[in-house]
Amino acid sequence: MRPLIGADLKRFVRDYRRANPPAREVVALLQSVEYPANVGSIFRLADGAGVKELVLTGITPTPPNATIDKVGRFKSLRVPWRYEADPVAAVEGLKGDGYQVVAVELTDDATPYHQFDYANKVCLVVGHEDHGITKATLATCDAAVFIPMYGKGLSLNVHVALAVVLYHIRHG
C-alpha cells in the first residue's frame, strides 16, 4: 500500500468519478451561517461532494473574504454560488425548481438522516452556529433530518453536520 500523489492521485479520482456518478442533484442553502471559517469549509466540502450550487442567505458572509478563501482553498472560484438575502424566498425558489428542501436541524419531528428517503433533487438547509435554522425558514422546508449524538454534546459543527448528511446522500 502506498499513498497516491500527483498524476496517480488525479487519475484515481477521475476514474472513481466516472465509475460512480452521483445519483442525486444536491444544492446546499446556508441560512445565516455566521463564521467565515465555516463558510470556507462548506465551499471546500461542496467542491469535494459535487454540490450543484451553494445558496448563501441572511448574514452569511460571501466571497471574496480572506478567511473563506484560505479555509476553502479558493473553492468559491469553482463552486457555483449566489447570495439571496431572504432565506424563505430562496427556499421557495428552490422548491419551484423541483427541489425537496430538507433542514439539517433538531426538530420535534426530525428523522434520523440515514432513515430519510431523499428525492433525486434535494436542497439541504443548515443554519446559524448557535441558533440553528429560524422558525420561518423551517416552516418552508419539506422535512428535517438529524444526526444522532451518542456523547455529551448535543450537535456537531455546521460544516461537519452538512458533510455527514451530504456524503450519506451521495452514497445512500
Model pLDDT for residues 13-40, shown as the tens digit of each residue: 999 999 999 989 999 999 999 999 999 9
- β-pair partners for 54: 28, 81
pLDDT score at 171: 87
- Tell me the CA end-to-end span of the chain in Å, nearest whole number: 28
CATH architecture, range 23-171: 3-Layer(aba) Sandwich (3.40)
pLDDT score at 164: 98
The model's confidence at residue 91, banded by pLDDT at 50, 70 and 90, is: very high
pTM above the 0.85 mark?
Answer: yes
3-state secondary structure of 76: helix
Model pLDDT for residues 59-84, shown as the tens digit of each residue: 999 999 999 999 999 999 999 999 99
**Domains in the chain: boundaries:** 23-171
